[in-house]
Amino acid sequence: MLAAALLAGAGTMSAEAAKGSFEAGKGKFLLNGEKFVVKAAELHYPRIPRPYWKHRIELCKALGMNTVCLYVFWNAHEPRPDAYDFTGQNDLREFVKLCDAEGMKVILRPGPYVCAEWEMGGLPWWLLKKKDISLRDDDPYFIERVDKFQKAVAEQVGDLTIASGGPIIMVQVENEYGAYGTDKPYVATIRDMLRRNFGNEVTLFQCDWASNFLNNGLDDLIWTMNFGTGANIDEQFAKLKEVRPESPLMCSEFWSGWFDKWGANHETRRADDMIAGIDEMLSKDISFSLYMTHGGTNWGHWAGANSPGFAPDVTSYDYDAPISESGQTTEKYWALRRTLAKYYEGKKLPKVPAAIKPMAIAPFTFSEYAPLWENLPEAKHDTELRTMEDYDQGFGSIVYGTTLPQLEAGATLTIDEAHDFAQVFVDGNYVGKLDRRNGERELTLPQCKSGARLDILVEAMGRINFGRAIKDYKGIVGKVTITTERDGYEWSASPTHWEVRNLEDRYDTYTAMNYRPIAEAQVVDGRLPRGCYRAHFTVKKPQDTFLNFATWGKGLVYVNGHAMGRIWEIGPQQTLYMPGCWLRKGDNEIVVLDVVGPREARCEGLKEPLLDQLLVKKRATHREPGQTLNLAGEQPIIEAELQPGNGWQTVKWGRAVRGRYVCIEAVDAIDGGDEASIAEMYFIDERGKRLSREPWTVTYADSENTDGVNRSADKTFDLQESTYWQTAVGVPYPHAIVIDLGSTRSLTGFECLPRMETGAPGAVKRVRIYVKGEAFAM
């Protein structure tokens, strides 16, 4: 390392001289021996159309950034075992070389797990075919596959590290492992793999949260912190400074905005908070990566889903970032550029490249359709219910068909569980839907004749990318039961024969269908039939546009064979970004699969995206009209006073108390105001361990701010320290939330994290905790 630095410092012009070094010095990073503050722009190459890569890198450079930070999505590169793809959108090497050509350094984050609101956090779905696999763990099969993949990555870019004269200054080991578990041996396995592949000189780091980085922190790696806009920065680095006073400081993910989920409000974060954070970090020589500087798009079926619960992400990954999804500069961009200009060593910032102008496309109607039920693939016969993965299917929809016994009206069909959006039909007639987002598992069946046909159409959305639930199988993952009353007794049965049809999400699947003129399509209950729709539209001069799907139901879109992404009428996203580089002068083809059926089969190109049109909301609040929690006569198990400031706080009651329903009553606020806010909370069991929050639900919250934002009480256990429960403006104390733990548990303590901003706005002072076996009276 030292030799390389000296050589570079000497300014020799030989090929050797291009080699450099990057390392952690005392309190700072050293690039070729000189102090270097990393100003990184997070960009994900598969999320940006390849012809626009250079434009987006130039936009980042013109902001005053000196580095590009990127994830490598394993599942995009290895769609089938050993079938590696590093071409086209996946050409990692080309992207890294483009960064280099622009004089940008690169931070490589090859996972294997990346989170990133990407399908299964970047892990390939086919790993799930091995049912007993343990993901992100020293499981021999998992490690064998990770090792192969990491070697493939190194074959692409292993010679582009700074020690070999390339732009890669650092490589990340795993990703926020602390949010998943505690397993230093596994993290060490990944570290060793990276060393074998990238050489011992490579500078490796781990990113985690201030609250948990010590759990998995390896002594020989650099530790960086992730936190969002608005966070109290000194507080975020306090622990690191204490345990490693000489470490350079870096926020490896400073969240510029946030991601959107179907059925929830569009997320934004304030520009001035982001700017203040960047300014403060740079004034203190703290390195950062701005996640995202440009988010781009989750093309096709690549959007992931958040958990606990199931909250699938939308197609746009705009992220309210400084550079919009379509590469436009925003107010945030210009404000950030002004701030970064102050830290550009007195030089002038590079010129901002010209914008790619969006165009409108006049409304056009679809000319053909292929009804879903007439175009299903051959059935496989099975005596057991299996998941999509069992049939070697990764993405798309699956239909499970069977015959029913004679049933009086009112029998219950229980599907426990359908992943992710199931529609039930009896003799071809629609009965209802089960939406996993809402925990729906039961439907009432109509009267059925013996031999009536039951069909369950299950559409898979993105696999969960966060937390322990990433082992997320698709299709029906449990049991199907029919329950009714016979002769005064409860009768239940599960079908023992299934006809299964796999509708793999591929362009060929949809184009191979038999299309008919749209004039033959009948509107039933306001909708055209479920199925595929095709249209041709003419473009004079291809430019970017936003295709409007506001009249469609739910499904997937392909244009000229490019997978554009998912659509869903509930919003908040109504348009899909259509890059001009994928359009053709003259005739263009569009194919839409709509599993619900469009209200009108038409489309148009808009000049602006529609990303904040929420039409149908998942019930976002947890209080019925007129409902009030009645705590009269209830005895709290403890009343405690929390301390001011940021960071976790613990309340213990020194004995095990059993119960299923817990009420947290906030009596007053530290700042004396009306607002109550909690970012995260846990209960401690009798072994001193945190209880799993997977089965939790909120049964009551007296007040929640869901007015254009997503600050409902379930944010207290969404595993995201930067999102929080907040009461609505002007609603006075006391406040209360009630959690159903899912089953009776023994509790010995309560842990709570206030908001991350300086002064912890809305931090609760006095809390009373109540634990009961049965639900609280309302």
Please provide the size of the chain in residues.
Answer: 778
Distance CA 503, CA 397 (A): 5
- Residue of 52, 186, 259, 537 interacting with ligand GLA (CB under 6 A): 259
DSSP sequence for 676-741: -EESEEEEE-TTSPBPP-TT-EEEEES--B-SSS-B-GGGGGSS-TT--EEPPTTPPSPEEEEEEE
Q: Residue 176 or residue 680: which is nearer to ligand GLA going by CB?
A: 176
Distance CA 661, CA 221 (A): 42
Pull the structure tokens for residue 711: 């600050």
**Shortest distance (Å) from residue 556 CB to ligand GLA:** 23
Residue nearest to ligand GLA (CB): 115
Give the count of residues interacting with ligand GLA (CB under 6 A).
9
Pull the structure tokens for residue 503: 């509708």
Dihedral sign (CA 41, 44, 49, 53): positive
User: Where in 195-234 is the site for ligand GLA (CB under 6 A)?
Assistant: 226
Q: List phi, psi (to 5°) of 257.
A: -150, -140
Q: List phi, psi (to 5°) of 526.
A: 80, 5
Site string for ligand GLA, 491-510 (x = CB under 6 A): --------------------
Q: Residue 176 or residue 594: which is nearer to ligand GLA going by CB?
A: 176
Dihedral sign (CA 182, 184, 189, 190): positive
Write the Ramachandran bin of 513: left for phi over 0, alpha for psi from -120 to 50, otherwise beta.
beta
Q: Residue 588 or residue 723: which is nearer to ligand GLA going by CB?
A: 723
**Shortest distance (Å) from residue 457 CB to ligand GLA:** 30
Distance CA 230, CA 651 (A): 26
Give whole-number Cα distances, 174 to 147, 178, 292, in Å. 13, 10, 19
* Of 117, 174, 176, 459, catalytic: 176
**Shortest distance (Å) from residue 441 CB to ligand GLA:** 28
**Shortest distance (Å) from residue 310 CB to ligand GLA:** 16
Residue by residue, what is the 3-state secondary structure of 49-89? CHHHHHHHHHHHHHHCCCEEEEECCHHHHCCECCECCCCHH
**Shortest distance (Å) from residue 261 CB to ligand GLA:** 12
Q: Residue 253 or residue 604: which is nearer to ligand GLA going by CB?
A: 253
Q: Residue 253 or residue 320: which is nearer to ligand GLA going by CB?
A: 253
Nearest residue to 583 via CA among 380, 361, 335: 361
Pull the structure tokens for residue 591: 């194919």
Pull the structure tokens for residue 289: 């990566």
Q: Residue 176 or residue 604: which is nearer to ligand GLA going by CB?
A: 176
- Residue 397 makes contact with ligand GLA by CB under 6 A: no
Judge whether 92 and 46 are in contact, CB under 8 Å.
Answer: no
Tokens 């159903």 sit at which residue? 740
Would you give the DSSP letter of residue 26?
Answer: S
Q: Residue 278 or residue 684: which is nearer to ligand GLA going by CB?
A: 278
Pairing of strands 105-109, 168-172: parallel
Site string for ligand GLA, 341-360 (x = CB under 6 A): --------------------
Alpha carbons within 13 A on the beta-carbon side of 699 = 19
**Shortest distance (Å) from residue 250 CB to ligand GLA:** 14
User: Where in 650-679 is the site for ligand GLA (CB under 6 A)?
Assistant: none
Q: CA-based angle 327:332:333, to the nearest 5?
A: 50
Site string for ligand GLA, 108-127 (x = CB under 6 A): ------xxxx----------
Q: CA-based angle 42:43:46, to the nearest 5?
A: 150
Q: Is 586 helix (H, G, I), strand (E, B) or coil?
A: strand
Q: Residue 221 or residue 769: which is nearer to ligand GLA going by CB?
A: 221
**Shortest distance (Å) from residue 552 CB to ligand GLA:** 27
176 included as an active-site residue: yes
**Shortest distance (Å) from residue 116 CB to ligand GLA:** 4
Site string for ligand GLA, 407-426 (x = CB under 6 A): --------------------
- Residue 680 makes contact with ligand GLA by CB under 6 A: no
Nearest residue to 716 via CA among 751, 673, 690, 757: 751
**Shortest distance (Å) from residue 306 CB to ligand GLA:** 9
Q: Residue 40 or residue 477: which is nearer to ligand GLA going by CB?
A: 40
**Shortest distance (Å) from residue 87 CB to ligand GLA:** 25
User: Where in 155-194 is the site for ligand GLA (CB under 6 A)?
Assistant: 175-176
Longest alpha-carbon distance in the chain: 94
Q: Residue 109 or residue 554: which is nearer to ligand GLA going by CB?
A: 109
Is residue 417 reached through a cis peptide bond, with omega within 30 degrees of 0 on the bond before it? Answer: yes
Q: List phi, psi (to 5°) of 336.
A: -65, -40
Give Cβ neighbours of residue 447 (< 8 Å, ≥ 6 apart).
Answer: 407, 408, 409
- Residue 253 makes contact with ligand GLA by CB under 6 A: yes
Alpha carbons within 13 A on the beta-carbon side of 64 = 23
Q: Residue 77 or residue 530: which is nearer to ligand GLA going by CB?
A: 77
Q: Residue 221 or residue 532: which is nearer to ligand GLA going by CB?
A: 221
Judge whether 745 and 660 are in contact, CB under 8 Å.
Answer: yes
Distance CA 737, CA 700 (A): 5
Distance CA 537, CA 587 (A): 6
**Shortest distance (Å) from residue 593 CB to ligand GLA:** 28
641 included as an active-site residue: no
**Shortest distance (Å) from residue 647 CB to ligand GLA:** 19
* Of 78, 117, 253, 325, catalytic: 253
Q: What is the separation, in whole angstroms, between the first and last Cα of the chain?
A: 67
Residues designated catalytic: 176, 253
- Residues near ligand GLA (CB under 6 A): 114-117, 175-176, 226, 253, 259
